[in-house]
Chains A and B, each alone.
Chain A
Amino acid sequence: MRTYKQINDRIASGKAVVLTAEEIIDYVERKGEEKALAEVDVVTTATFGPMCSSGCFLNFGQCVPKIRISECTIDGVEAYGGLAAVDVFLGATQLRVNAPANLTFPGEFSFGGAHVIEKLVAGEMVEVIATSYGTQDYPRRELRTEVCIHDLNQAIMVNPRNCYQNYNVAVNCSEKRLYTYLGQLEPNMQNASYSSAGQLSPLLNDPWYETIGIGTAVWLAGARGHVHAEGTQHFPTCQRNHNGVPMEGAGTLGLTADMKQMQRKYVRACSFRGYGVSLALGVGIPIPILNQRILRQVCVRDSEILAPITDYSLDYPMKTGRVLGYVNYEQLKSGQIELDGRKIATSSLSSYSLALEIAELLKAEISEGKFLLSEPLQLLPREQSSKPFPIREKTI
C-alpha cells in the first residue's frame, strides 16, 4: 500500500521506480506480483490519436483603440467570440468560412481549426480578422493582423472529450465505399479500422477510474495539464469483460493544458476525406501503484481487451446497437482479424508507436523528478448511461 504523498516524495527525491504500461506486464511476469508491488511506484499510460472534441481559448490582448470582438476568423476559420472582449474559442473541427465541405463528395477538408491549432503550437504566424459592433468603451469596429502564440496572453487548450476508454472497430457491410472519421472503409468488409492504444491506453489501465479523476495531472502534448471534468459522453455503464475492462467506448476525459508549453509533434491536424477535420493529440497519464488491485489492472494486455466490430454503413448511423462480433487488440494489431470465417485487413488511426514514445517520455519526466502526481479532487462517475437526443415536433 502506498499513498500519493509517499509516491511524490520518492519522485521528488529521484528514487521513484517508474515503468510503462507495456513494461509492467513483463515485469510482473518475471518478478512476481508481490515483488512488483513492493518495488514499482508509478506506471505510465499513453495514447495518440484523433480527438475531435478539442479546442482552445485564446486571449489576444488589447489594441488601441480597444475592440470587443463579436466575429473573428483565424486563417479563415471562425473562432467563437461570444465571450469577453478579446477572448475567443477555436474548435478543432471548425472549417474555413466558405469551405466546400462535402459539396463535391468526397470533400478534401484540407484545412480547419485543428490546422490553426497546430500552426499556433509550432509558433507560426496566423492571420486574425475581427469585427465588432463597437461600443463607447470598445470603439474599434474591425482589425486585420498577424499574430503567433507568443503574442497571445493565453492559449489554453480545453478539450471536452479525449482519451476514449475503448472504441469501435469500424467495417463497411455495404456495396459502396464509406468515408468516415475512422478513415475510408472499403465495401463488403474489405478492411477494418480501429483507434486505441490498447494495453497502453490510460483508461484501459484504470477501468473503474480509481486514480484518474478530476484534478489528475496529465501530460498533454508535452505540457503538464489536468483532467478538468468527466469527458462528454462519459458512459461507464456498459458491457465489461471479466477484468472490468469495457467492451465499448465507455469512459472519456475532459483535458486542459497550456498550449504554449506544447510540442507540435504531439498536436497534429488531420483531414479525413469525405468526413472533416480533426486534431490528433498525444496524452500521457501516470497511474500510481497504490495497491494490489491497481497493479493488477495496469497489467492488462492487448489480448484481454475486446472491441466491438461495428458496421458503419447502417448500424452506426442508425444507432441500432448491433455488434457484428468482438475482437481483441492483439488480433487487431496483427494486421488481420477473422469474422464469420472471413479474413479482414486491419489498420489503426491511433499511433501505438507514438503512444509508446509518450509513455517513455512521461516515465523519464517522473523518474527525473520533474512530474509529480496529483490525487484526484473528485472521482469520475462509475455509473452513467447515454441519453438519446429527443426530436420533438413543435406543437404550436
Chain B
Amino acid sequence: MKSEKILLRFPKTETGKPIVYHLIKDYNLVVNIYVAKITQDKEGYLVVNLTGEEADLARGKAFLRSLQVQVESVENGILRDNSRCTHCGNCVSHCPTNALHIADRKTMRVELDQSLCIACSLCTTNCPFGACTSVF
C-alpha cells in the first residue's frame, strides 16, 4: 500500500464529472479529500490523499491525466513569500496540520513543512502581511 497527497486541477469541461467515484470504484483507491473548490471560471481544484496498491495508484493517476486533469504536488497550492513573512507566528495557531510551525522557541521563526501542508488556505486568510497566497 502506498499513500500520496496530490493537487488536482480540473479544466472547466471536467468539473461536472464524478471523477472521485471512479477513483474509488474502478481503481480501489481510498480517497481523503482535504480541499475541494470550484473557481469563478468554473475550474476545479481538489487536494486529496490517495491510498492504494502502487499499480492502482499509477492507473488512477493515468485515468486522471486522460481527462486532462493536471496532477500536481500539493506544494504548488500555497505560495509563501519569504520577503513578506515577518515571522510573527499568527498563522501557526490557525494551521490545522502544523505545517506552519515554530521549530525553535529561542528564535521564534516560522517554518513551513511542505509535506504536512494540505493547501487549506487558512494561512492565506489569516496572514496580515499577505505572505501566504493560494493558487485557487
- A157-200 Cβ-contact flags toward B at 8 Å (1 or 0): 00000000000000000000000000110000001110000000
A49 at the interface (CB under 8 A from B): yes
Q: In the assembled complex, which residues on chain A have CB atoms less than 8 Å from the CB atom of B105?
A: 333-335
Q: Is the CB of B93 within 8 A of A345?
A: yes
With A and B bound together, what is the CA distance between A193 and B89 in angstroms?
Answer: 10
Interface core residue of B94, B109, B110, B128 (most chain A CB under 10 Å) = B128
A352 CA / B90 CA spacing, docked (Å) = 12
Residues 70-109 of B at the A interface (beta carbon under 8 Å): 86-94, 102, 105, 107-109
Is A272 close to B, CB under 8 A? yes
Are A351 and B86 interface neighbours, CB within 8 A? yes
Residues of B within 8 A of A356 (CB): 107-108
Contacts of A347 in B (CB 8 A): 88-94
Chain B positions within 8 Å of A353 at CB level: 86-87, 107-110
Interfacial chain B residues near A50, Cβ < 8 Å = 128
Are A350's CB and B94's CB within 8 A?
Answer: no
A306 to B105, CA, bound (A): 18
Determine how close the nearest CB of chain A comes to the CB of B93; give it in whole angstroms.
4
Query: Given A353-B109, A356-B107, do A348 and B125 touch, yes or no (CB 8 Å)?
Result: no
Q: A271-B128, A278-B128, A356-B107 are in contact. Are A349 and B93 (CB under 8 A)?
A: no
Q: Are A280 and B126 in contact (CB under 8 A)?
A: no
**Inside 8 A of A345's CB, which chain B residues have their CB?**
92-93
CB of A273 to closest CB in B, whole Å: 6
Question: Are the C-beta atoms of A268 and B86 separated by less than 8 Å?
Answer: yes
Return B101 CB to nearest CB of chain A, in Å.
8
B86→A273 contact, CB < 8 A: no
How distant is the Cα of A4 from the Cα of B90 in the complex, in angstroms?
39
Find out whether the CB atom of A348 lies under 8 angstroms from the CB atom of B129: no
For B87, B105, B109, which residue has the most chain A Cβ atoms within 10 angstroms?
Answer: B87
Q: Does the CB pair B90–A271 fall under 8 Å? A: no
Q: Which of A308-353 contact B (CB under 8 A)?
A: 333-335, 345-353
Contact assessment for A191 and B94 in the assembled complex, using a CB-CB cutoff below 8 Å: yes
Q: Are A335 and B130 in contact (CB under 8 A)?
A: no
Cross-chain contact B126 with A184 (CB below 8 angstroms) = yes
Q: A residues within 8 A CB of B86?
A: 48, 268, 280, 351, 353-354
Tell me the bound Cα distance from A18 to B126 in angstroms.
37
Contacts of B88 in A (CB 8 A): 48-49, 280, 347-351
Q: Does A270 reach chain B (CB closer than 8 Å)?
A: yes
Residues of B within 8 Å of A354, CB to CB, are 86-87
Query: Given known contacts A184-B126, A270-B129, is B94 in contact with A335 (CB within 8 Å)?
Result: no
Report the separation of the CA atoms of residues A229 and B90 in the bound assembly, to the nearest whole angstrom: 31
9 closest A-B pairs by beta carbon, nearest first, are A270-B128, A347-B93, A353-B87, A352-B108, A345-B93, A191-B93, A351-B88, A351-B86, A348-B89
26 contacts between A and B (CB under 8 A): A48-B88, A183-B90, A183-B126, A183-B128, A184-B94, A191-B93, A192-B93, A268-B86, A269-B129, A271-B128, A273-B125, A278-B128, A280-B86, A280-B128, A280-B129, A333-B105, A333-B108, A334-B105, A335-B93, A345-B92, A347-B88, A347-B92, A347-B94, A351-B86, A351-B87, A353-B109
B→A interface (CB under 8 Å): 86-94, 102, 105, 107-110, 125-126, 128-130
Q: Please name 10 further chain A to chain B contacts, defined as beta carbons within 8 Å, in addition to the given A183-B90, A335-B93, sorted by A numbering.
A: A184-B94, A191-B94, A270-B128, A271-B128, A273-B125, A335-B92, A345-B93, A347-B90, A347-B93, A351-B88
